[in-house]
């Protein structure tokens, strides 16, 4: 066993061994859970040897030559990445990230043979509405830490007590602190079934779900399955692109006839996005996640550089221009370090392969017109595309909320946690009211 493998083994023992854990599940199933349904308290405790190994690998990086262009069109720029990595290897403190996670109630339960890690924070408000929030790639539960306060205690963040949520934030199987599936078959549909089982085990008889990035397809599949208790979903990367627009984009044909001015602008933006190589990471992980994984799992700098190709980071300034603007340098490194320490770059990438190339923005790929549960959408202006309301209403027959906000991008909860929480309050208000009326 290599030193890194040994460290990771120790990491797994220290986090999954109940002897080091404290806390209880605040809402459990009405019947006594079977042993296989046990919910175990969880605490992160990374061995120092693993952190020392990370710093050693960073220091030993063999750097490429400088890019030949003055922008990011060839990938992360050498000087900016070197500055980030220099801080990662010398000034960054993982223990602060670890403390943030351990300050929250965390749990693990085994579903379909895989340990599912999740954060569960309950509101002090009696009639709080449970919300299940799903992250994407290269994100993690870290994205949503800033939203927990505004969601569980809205009165302290511009809302009212009646707007409160209980918050459940799981790690997708193969990501971060969840277990890694050892067999194929863990696409968005399977994850959605696991989420339904998780909420059942927690005893929730009614709840809503939210997702962006991979969280959007997973939440969409959850709505399609319509498990008992699910009232509706909120998306910030909805699959609204109509079939004829998709066909034109794929074939390189002119835009379809009859597009409005706004629709044409979105069509042109999508075409530019596709031609710029912005989705190259998607193609690589979809085709050969295992091949990509050998380098991602071996070099922390290579992993970070690849993750920074994601268009969600296109306008990120590496914390240079405003050290307080979220996500901050430390917040991004919290996320990257989590992938590194849990050795999940490869297993996380397999979700793309399992998805068999379905574009998360295409309505036909996700059969959105078949959904019957209520759907709410928020459009953040700096996301990879800005779906017109006309496309959204065509894609989702039971669209109950559509709002374009004035700031925020792909990592909306990370970038604008207060606004993100306010959008969930507004989006789910009709479902909260109808649910209380029916009780």
Active site residues: 213, 352, 410
Nearest alpha carbon to residue 201 among 41, 30, 42, 40:
30
Nearest alpha carbon to residue 85 among 120, 51, 54:
54
Q: Tell me how long the chain is.
A: 439
**Quick one: which H or E segment has residue 380?**
none
Number of alpha helices (DSSP H) and beta strands (DSSP E) in the chain: 18, 9
Strands 114-121 and 165-170, sheet pairing? antiparallel
For residues 238 and 387, the answer to whether their CB atoms sit within 8 Å is: yes
Question: What tokens does 327 get?
Answer: 């996500």
Strand pairing partners for 271? Answer: none
Nearest alpha carbon to residue 348 among 281, 414, 299, 301:
281
Collect all residues with Cβ–Cβ distance below 8 Å to 17 and sequence separation of at least 6. Answer: none
Provide Rg for the chain, Cα atoms.
21
Collect all residues with Cβ–Cβ distance below 8 Å to 251 and sequence separation of at least 6. Answer: none
* Dihedral over Cα of 329, 334, 335, 337: its sign: positive
Burial (CB < 10 A; 0-12, 13-18, 19+), residue 219, is buried
Q: How far apart, in whole angstroms, are the C-alpha atoms of residue 409 and residue 303? A: 22
Q: How far apart, in whole angstroms, are the C-alpha atoms of residue 379 and residue 412? A: 10
Question: What tokens does 238 get?
Answer: 């909805």
DSSP string covering 201-219: HTT-SSEEEEESTTHHHHH
Burial (CB < 10 A; 0-12, 13-18, 19+), residue 430, is middle
């Amino acid at each position: 066993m290599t030193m890194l493998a040994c460290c990771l083994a120790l990491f797994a023992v220290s986090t999954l061994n109940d002897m080091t854990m404290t806390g209880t599940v605040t809402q459990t199933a009405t019947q006594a859970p079977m042993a296989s349904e046990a919910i175990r308290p969880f605490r992160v405790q990374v061995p120092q040897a693993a952190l020392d190994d990370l710093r050693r690998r960073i220091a030993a990086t063999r750097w490429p030559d400088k890019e030949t262009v003055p922008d990011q069109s060839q990938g992360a720029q050498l000087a900016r990445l070197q500055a980030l990595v220099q801080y990662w290897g010398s000034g960054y403190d993982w223990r602060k990230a670890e403390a943030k996670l351990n300050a929250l109630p965390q749990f693990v339960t085994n579903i379909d043979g895989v340990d599912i890690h999740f954060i569960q924070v309950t509101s002090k408000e009696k009639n709080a509405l449970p919300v299940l929030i799903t992250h994407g790639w290269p994100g993690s539960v870290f994205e949503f830490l800033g939203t927990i306060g505004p969601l569980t205690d809205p009165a302290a963040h511009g809302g009212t007590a009646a707007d409160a949520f209980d918050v459940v934030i799981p790690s997708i199987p193969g990501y971060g602190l969840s277990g890694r599936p050892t067999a194929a078959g863990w696409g968005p549909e399977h994850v959605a079934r696991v989420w339904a089982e998780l909420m059942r085990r927690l005893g929730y008889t009614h709840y809503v779900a939210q997702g962006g990035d991979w969280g959007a397809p997973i939440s969409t599949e959850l709505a399609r399955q319509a498990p008992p208790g699910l009232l509706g979903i909120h998306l910030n990367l909805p699959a609204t692109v109509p079939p004829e627009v998709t066909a034109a984009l794929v074939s390189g044909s002119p835009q379809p006839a009859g597009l409005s001015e706004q629709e044409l602008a979105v069509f042109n933006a999508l075409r530019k996005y596709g031609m710029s190589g912005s989705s190259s990471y998607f193609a690589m992980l979809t085709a050969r996640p295992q091949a990509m994984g050998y380098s991602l799992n071996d070099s922390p700098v290579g992993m970070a550089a690849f993750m920074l190709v994601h268009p969600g980071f296109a306008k990120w300034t590496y914390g240079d221009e405003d050290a307080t603007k979220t996500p901050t340098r430390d917040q991004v490194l919290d996320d990257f370090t989590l992938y590194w320490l849990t050795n999940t770059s490869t297993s996380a990438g397999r979700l793309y392969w399992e998805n068999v190339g379905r574009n998360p923005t295409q309505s036909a790929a996700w059969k959105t017109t078949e959904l019957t549960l209520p759907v709410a959408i928020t459009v953040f202006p700096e996301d990879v595309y800005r779906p017109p309301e006309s496309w959204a209403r065509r894609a989702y027959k039971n669209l109950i909320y559509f709002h374009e906000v004035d700031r925020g991008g792909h990592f909306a909860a990370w970038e604008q946690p207060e606004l993100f929480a306010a959008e969930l309050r507004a989006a789910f208000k009709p479902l909260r009211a109808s649910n209380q009326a029916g009780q």
